[in-house]
Structure 1
Amino acid sequence: MTTEQIVLASRPKGLPVSDDFRMMQVELPVIKPGEILLKGLYYSVDPYMRGRMNDAKSYAPPFEIDKPIYGGVIGKVMESLSEHFRPGDMVVGNFPWQKDFIATEKEARKIDTSLAPPSYYLGVLGMTGLTAYFGLIHIGKPKAGETVVVSGAAGAVGIVVGQIAKIQGCYVVGIAGSDEKVKLLKSEFGFDEAINYKTTPDMNKAIAAACPKGVDIYFDNVGGEISDAVIKNINFHARIPLCGQISLYNTTETPMGPRLQPMLLTRSVLMQGFIVGDFKDRFPEGIKHLAQWVKEGKLKGTETIEHGFQNLPKALLGLFKGDNTGKMIVEA
């Protein structure tokens, strides 16, 4: 059986371009006992993928040249030689950017499509939701009445963080990149206040005005000048879950910024970087809470969906232009 895959054609210098990707045809091997043949339906597109395009040491190995990009995929079982799966089952796992592929039974996890649409398992009920949950709950340790600021608030993780913070009884301020996103955060997702950083001349003053009691938890998805401004308004004994630095992913030189350590030191602030895999032994706990909140209507997902397998690179590049609201997904 022949299928198509999208591979990394070259390592980007700065912002990736379409020529850094290539579509290839590949012949699938014969399915073996304990394996399943899957048809890809929904593909997750995430900022961390940019880091894996570099040939650099990190928490995950880099993507290989002329080998497929990997990420979260929802697939449908087409053929099974596993006693745990039947044709028609819907599964999620870390799979290649490939239209059809073979996986072992240990690589796939069956999903419950009666609870939520399949794509939710790439977002609010998947790694996105788990990232928000563990970063906020176990690093941020929110208490009712505290002020939480979320950068990249209209992105996949940020939009879930804000909702969980509201469930915990916090005052929540989001930072996003358009008036439309600001309005959405407040009207649809319960944020108390939101700031459009692209039209705000003085972020320091804007954050101070939006957070009259200062900032107790800063969930940092973006880094750069936005984070500099938030940290200037940080409270004593505040917590900073450091989740992403998307403003810096495509820089070719290391930018200079304020030295933040004196503020962290004198205000006894905790800043902790993390990846969701740090909490892999506790995923069932996170899924349990996320699923319950979704079931109760307290937690909603939102998606930007590109259509067409061939548009996966376009969707990834769109992340760095702010094209998405919530989770960026490609439907094959």
Structure 2
Amino acid sequence: MEVKFIPTEQLKEKPDENALGFGNYFTDYMFTMDWTKEKGWHNAVIEPYGSIQLDPASMVLHYAQETFEGLKAYKTKEGKVLLFRPDMNAKRFANSNRRLCMEVLPEEMFVDAIATLVSREKEWIPTIEGTSLYIRPFMFATESAVGVHPSNAYKFMIVLSPVGAYYPEGVNPVKIYVEDEYVRATKGGTGFAKCGGNYAASIAAQVKAEKLGYTQVLWLDGVERKYVEEVGTMNAMFIIDRKIITAPCDGTVLPGVTRDSVIQLLKSWGYVVEERPLAIDELMEAGRNKTLQEAFGTGTAAVISPIGELSYKGESIIINDFQTGEITQRLYDTLTGIQWGKLEDSFHWTYEVN
């Protein structure tokens, strides 16, 4: 893939690594590339970060053909730049695009575009523990037309953001509100795809949870409102009687890269992992009788986030005395150790950027 480079007239001042937050700052450059039926993929450019121009009739603004991904780049003590399982993000991006009838970006091109931009911007990768360079690839319909049909033109872009912890609590337990009014996804829908519409539909529940003092929402299935699915920004896992239980990826749950990594780690350590429907009543009862030993979320942004409290229909249960559990901490330490190049990568998950 030939990539044109357009230099910026002035480089930005880099932010304080001790006060990054999440998604507040963006690097000097971004990647853009276009697709049309006539030309295919073309016009790959790394250019100064800035505004994009859209026709008011661009189909993304009217029919929401848009998908995105999220992954991170890390810098080791030796100065190596590592990505974590970018091939998995490439596959999921392709599946999301297929579901929304959008052009599929070849997986190798996806990874190559990310590596090329990250290599250009590697001085932006923060090095303080707990920080990283967040990578946001996304794609949207650009054809100017009013009428519901797949677009004949798309733009693929990547922006980069140096980040700290996703949640203000950091690696400390968060409080989760179980949502039983609104629905996130049903089978046959777009629950497994990473598209903006899923997140837009979730905001009402998120606002409600925050007003009640909770950090995030735990969704139930969209048909019976009975089975636990996932948290708004993470897959969810629960340790009941030393077994790890998580919702299956059967069309309504996002197939998380961190989720898959955690399952592989847990199985390699000898734990039983059950990917099965877990009723909210079963979960709450386990919380009451203290057989619910730990709970945590998994996701690129937070990596591993301990869950210390669940609230459902006015009842709250405290998990592990609102402390980070032993298995949860081990998972966080192991995953971040691999990502930052501190631990051996026996699963061959990291991808070095030249």
TM-score of Structure 1 vs Structure 2, range by shorter chain: under 0.3
TM-score scaled by length of structure 2: 0.25
TM-score scaled by length of structure 1: 0.26
Instruction: Name whichever structure is richer in helix by fraction.
Output: 1
